[in-house]
């Protein structure tokens, strides 16, 4: 039996420029960080040849081709596992529609578990690349690449998505000050979960018309990187606010009256900036405020559920691996 633990993420600036429709033309950039909320995959060898998959449903099948959960199915195909395993999936937050990259974290966690089960120790780069192949290439999801890469690498990273398809990863090491800076960011749940596919399909289709806004969003990612490296942390509030104002213009459905009211409440409570995580439309609202204003912000947001978090140093990892006797 083995267990993998794979982090979720917050995207600070640049989201949307990791979509192929944009980066193939102009190159994209995103500043994002893993957080200490996780997707777990438990994998156990079975005595029989059947495949058991447990998530919100329970599947018991005889072959990989029969698996309905497409991420499990394709990850098993890539790793070369064909029979005799039991897989259980669980997460710290709603499994979809959170905006925190849970689907990509699951894909990376599955791949990590399957490769280790096969006796292979693969790199974060390989996990991220294979997760992109599954979600974007095989399953046809209209998503970008940032979620797979931050789930695999962990930490705080500046990602550059080159027109060639290559991803350049630059870790940002903050040391002890990271905890102080991370404490200035708070997550509040909109109580709305949604599929990002509709929003992202429209956003992809509108890339040509949105190119100027996307260029500005990419510039904000570079500005955020420079501000964090230089220790100008309070600049992140302004960057979140500007990013959100641009993001709302990329597709219909990214915001709605309930979300606008939530953003206004956060601003009145002392947040200097905020934006929805992920594609928009629901999920979690990321806010930034000086630590001295956190109590006032919590009071202003008392009608919403806060999810406390810390920035996470590590990407997908194996937490438990107990190798049993072979019987075949």
How far apart (Å, rounded) are the C-alpha atoms in residues 328 and 305? 50
Query: Please, are residues 78 and 70 in contact by the beta-carbon 8 Å criterion?
Result: no
At residue 177, the pLDDT reads 85
Q: Three-state DSSP class for 310?
A: coil
Architecture of domain 2-173+313-321: 2-Layer Sandwich (3.30)
Low-confidence ranges of the chain (pLDDT < 70): 95, 324-328
How far apart (Å, rounded) are the C-alpha atoms in residues 125 and 169? 9
At residue 326, the pLDDT reads 62
At residue 324, the pLDDT reads 63
Burial degree of 45 (CB within 10 A; 0-12, 13-18, 19+) = middle
At residue 110, the pLDDT reads 98
At residue 96, the pLDDT reads 73
Domain coordinates of the chain in residue numbers?
Answer: 2-173+313-321, 177-306
Beta-carbon contacts of 230 under 8 Å, excluding residues fewer than 6 positions away, are none
Q: What CATH number is given for 177-306 in this structure? A: 3.30.70.890
pTM score of the predicted model: 0.96
At residue 195, the pLDDT reads 74
At residue 268, the pLDDT reads 97
Structure tokens at 287: 């806010």
């Amino acid at each position: 039996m083995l267990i993998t633990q794979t982090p979720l993420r917050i995207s600070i600036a640049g989201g949307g420029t990791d979509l192929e429709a944009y980066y193939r033309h102009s190159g994209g950039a995103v500043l994002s960080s893993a957080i200490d909320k996780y997707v777990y995959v438990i994998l156990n060898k079975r005595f029989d040849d059947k495949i058991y998959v447990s998530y919100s449903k329970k599947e018991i099948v005889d072959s990989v081709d029969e698996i309905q959960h497409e991420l499990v199915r394709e990850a098993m195909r890539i790793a070369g596992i064909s029979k005799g395993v039991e897989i259980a999936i669980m997460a710290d937050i709603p499994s979809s529609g959170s905006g925190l990259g849970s689907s990509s974290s699951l894909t990376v966690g599955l791949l990590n578990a399957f490769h280790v089960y096969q006796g292979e120790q693969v790199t974060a780069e390989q996990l991220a690349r294979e997760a992109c192949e599954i979600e974007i290439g095989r399953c046809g999801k209209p998503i970008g690449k940032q979620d797979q890469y931050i789930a695999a690498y962990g930490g705080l990273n500046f990602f550059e998505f080159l027109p060639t398809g290559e991803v350049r990863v630059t870790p940002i090491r903050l040391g002890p000050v990271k905890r102080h800076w991370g404490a200035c960011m708070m997550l509040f749940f909109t109580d709305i979960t949604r599929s990002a596919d509709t929003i992202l399909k429209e956003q992809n289709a509108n890339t040509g018309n949105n190119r100027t806004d996307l260029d500005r969003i990419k510039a904000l990612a570079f500005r955020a990187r420079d501000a964090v490296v230089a220790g100008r942390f309070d600049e992140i509030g302004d960057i979140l606010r500007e990013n959100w104002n641009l993001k709302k213009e990329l597709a219909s459905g990214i915001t709605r009256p309930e979300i606008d009211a939530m953003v206004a409440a956060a601003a009145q409570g002392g947040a200097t900036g905020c934006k929805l995580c992920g594609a928009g439309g629901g999920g979690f609202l990321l806010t930034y405020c000086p630590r001295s204003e956190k109590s006032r912000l919590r009071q202003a947001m008392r009608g919403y559920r806060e999810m406390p978090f810390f920035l996470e140093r590590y990407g997908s990892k194996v937490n438990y691996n107990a190798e049993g006797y072979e019987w075949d």
